[in-house]
Amino acid sequence: MFIDSHCHLDRLDLSAHEGDLGAALEAARARDVRQFLAIAVTLDDVPGLAALSRVHHDVVISAGVHPLHDVASEPTVADIKECAETHAAVAIGETGLDYHYDSIPRERQHERFRRHLVAANELELPVIVHTREAKDDTLALIRECTDPAVGGVLHCFTEDMDMAREAVRHGFYISLSGIVTFRNATSLRDLARQIPLDRLLIETDSPYLAPVPHRGKPNEPQWVVEVAECIARERDISIDEVAMQTTANFYHLFRAAAPQASADIKESLAKAGVI
């Protein structure tokens, strides 16, 4: 069984499924994808994601504001906490720092990221971190503001092994997306072999970054299996091992998601001591 640990279900291109999100999720379930973490880009997204979660028992949600999303007013720590608690979010984010475009001033990104980290700590919820070309500042804020016992994940990771090691030391997981399958992603595949398997997550970041052999198409949750297959090949292990370990990792990090897991997953997690 697989888990898509990062997907934007409210932004999927559903043209291949006649506009039906349920059909897209069923396509994923048919490939043994058993849980979906639907990620918020802004706090305004969260009520809609919560409604999806009520309809689809295997969808859990996050609450946060993307570092490059412009907002009329910056949410306070209290705003972030209230939104997460009201809508039963299992994580805070996605948040972080992105210096590639610099469309949002860095000082503003820093303060927004810090507020999310503080909210995550106070709620004891893991934080989902987007980081691009901001290695040193991302790590500095994580060290300053996070509790390793709560931790989080560096999602859609494309940075170097030094950053991955430092994040893992601070209680974080590393999530790999379809980028790992791209022809020019040699260094990321090297990293996929080196990161401890008990610190890896898999994701689609759909509708973005469709993996090989689906490049050029809108991404969707069912293709998280292709990410797992690539990692299995690179590590020379079975896809079952990747599936089992990344599933256990997901519930170890996102503990609030465990009550929504299916009965067979809960049984496996209980045997492994995760729940």
- pLDDT tens string 45-94: 999 999 999 999 999 999 999 999 999 999 999 999 999 999 999 999 99
* Calpha distance 88→38 (Å, rounded): 12
Residue 244, pLDDT above cutoff 90: yes
What fold characterizes domain 2-272? TIM Barrel (3.20.20)
Q: Is 110 annotated as a binding residue?
A: no
In this prediction, residue 273 has a pLDDT band, given cuts at 50, 70 and 90, of: low
Q: What pLDDT does residue 10 have?
A: 97
- Whether 131 shows a pLDDT value over 70: the answer reads yes
79 is in an annotated binding site: no
Instruction: Decide: helix, strand or coil at residue 227.
Output: helix
pLDDT band with cut points at 50, 70 and 90 for residue 266: confident
Q: Which long-range contacts (CB under 8 A, 24 or more apart) does 108-115 make?
A: 108/74, 109/67, 110/137, 110/141, 111/74, 112/65, 112/67, 112/74, 112/75, 113/67, 113/138, 113/141, 114/141, 114/144, 114/145, 115/74, 115/75, 115/76, 115/77, 115/80
Residue 264 scores a pLDDT above 80: no
Domain segments of the chain as ranges: 2-272
What SS3 class is residue 137? Answer: helix
pLDDT confidence of 265, banded at 50, 70, 90?
confident
* Predicted local confidence at residue 267, as pLDDT: 78
SS3 192: helix
Residue 6, marked binder: yes
* 3 state SS of 215: coil
CA distance 103 to 86: 30
Does 8 appear as a known binding residue?
Answer: yes
162 is in an annotated binding site: no
pLDDT of residue 259: 80
Q: What is the CA radius of gyration of the chain?
A: 17
Helix (H, G, I), strand (E, B) or coil at 187: helix
Interacting residues of 248 by C-beta distance below 8 A, sequence separation 6+: 198, 268, 269, 272, 274
* pLDDT reported for residue 272: 67
Residue 66 annotated as part of some ligand binding site? no
Write down the number of H helices and E strands in the chain. 10, 8
pLDDT: which is higher, 141 or 268: 141
- Please give the average per-residue pLDDT across 185-199, as a whole number: 97
Rounded to an integer, the average pLDDT of 242-264 is 91
